Amino acid sequence: MSITPKEILAFVKRYPVGVVCGLVGVIMLAGLYLRSDRADDLSDQSKQLEEQSKKILGEIRNGANIAEQYAALSAKTKDLDSRLIRGSERALNQRYFYRIESDTGVKEVNLQQTSSGAEPGKGDKRLYCGIGYSVIVTGDFRQILDFVGKIESGQYFYRLISATVSRKAGDTPGTAPVITLSLNIELLGLP
């Protein structure tokens, strides 16, 4: 059973609207199938462009006063750098403790730099390091408190490792007891 062109033409003449609708439907389905991948690609591109535009707008908003922010940050960085000690400058570092000693009136029994903060380990990317000091001072209660207060509010950043306090009675009756303070601290600095 073969279909002849006359039969096809007769069918089209008898049902012209149905045939046209069928052809349009087939064309639309083919177009939908072929364009569905393209729609996903366009949707992904649209999302990427939207994210990129949000990022750019955020950078524009944040960059409006970047010169002032940079100047403020530079000033703060210089201030912080002035509060760092250098591990290689032992004499200058010890002068800091001698100045505190003379300001507070304590007597320094022992001052030693226990670590220079030099040579961080392999793979260690630290910019700053702790420079250790062992300090032993004697004085009366007020002098010891002043000494600790000067270290705490001093020029350099510090970290208290350990502290030991001992008391010895005064040499003569009625005199204030002598207090000995032993500190192990680290000052923040550069190697």
pLDDT tens digits, 17-28: 999 999 999 999
Global pTM value: 0.59
Give the per-residue pLDDT at 122: 56
CA dist., res. 126 & res. 94, Å (int): 24
pLDDT tens per residue across span 130-141: 889 999 999 999
- Residue ranges of the chain with pLDDT lower than 70? 1, 116-126, 170-171, 174
pLDDT at site 181: 94
Alpha-carbon span 72 to 86, nearest angstrom: 25
Q: Which of 133, 145, 153, 134 is nearest to 106 (CA)?
A: 145
Parallel, antiparallel or unpaired: strands 107-113 and 129-139: antiparallel
